[in-house]
Structure 1
Amino acid sequence: MTKRAYNFNAGPAALPLSVLQTAAEQMTNFEGTGMSVMEMSHRSENYERLNNETQGLFRTLFGIPDGYKVLFLQGGASTQFAMVPMNLLPAGKTAAFVVHGAWSTKAYKEAKLFGDAVTIASSKESGFKSVPDLSKSALPDNTAYLHVTSNETIEGVQFDAFPETGEVPLIADMSSDILSRPLDVSKFSLIYAGAQKNLGPSGVTVVIAKDELVDKSPEHLATMLRYDTHAANNSLYNTPPSFSVYIMNLVLRWIESEGGLAGIERRNVEKTNLIYQAIDESEGFYRGHADAPYRSRMNITFRLSNEDDEKAFLKAADAAGFVGLKGHRSVGGCRASTYNAVPYEACAALAEFMHDFRRKRQ
Structure 2
Amino acid sequence: MRHHILSALYSARYSRLCLGGLFMFLCQAAIAQESRYNMTRGVTEISQRVYGLHMTIFYICVVIAIIVFGLMFWSIVRHRKSAGAVPAQFHGSMKIELLWTAIPVVILVVMAIPATQALIAMEDASESDLTVLVTGSQWKWHYKYLDYPIEYFSVLATPRAQISNEAEKDALYLLEVDKPLVIPTGKKVRFLLTADDVIHSWWVPDFAIKKDAIPGFINETWTRVDKPGLYYGKCAELCGRDHGFMPVAVEVKSEADFEAWAAEQVALQEAARMADAAATPMSMDELMTLGEKVYGTACAVCHQASGEGLPGVFPGLKGSAMVTADIPGHVRIVVFGKAGTAMQAFARQLSTSELAAVITYERNAWGNDTGDMVQPADVAAAIQGGE
TM-score normalised by L of structure 1: 0.24
Name the structure with the higher helix share.
2
The structure with the largest alpha-carbon Rg is: 2
TM (norm. structure 2) is 0.23
Whose relative contact order is higher, 1 or 2, with alpha carbons under 8 Å and at least 6 apart? 1
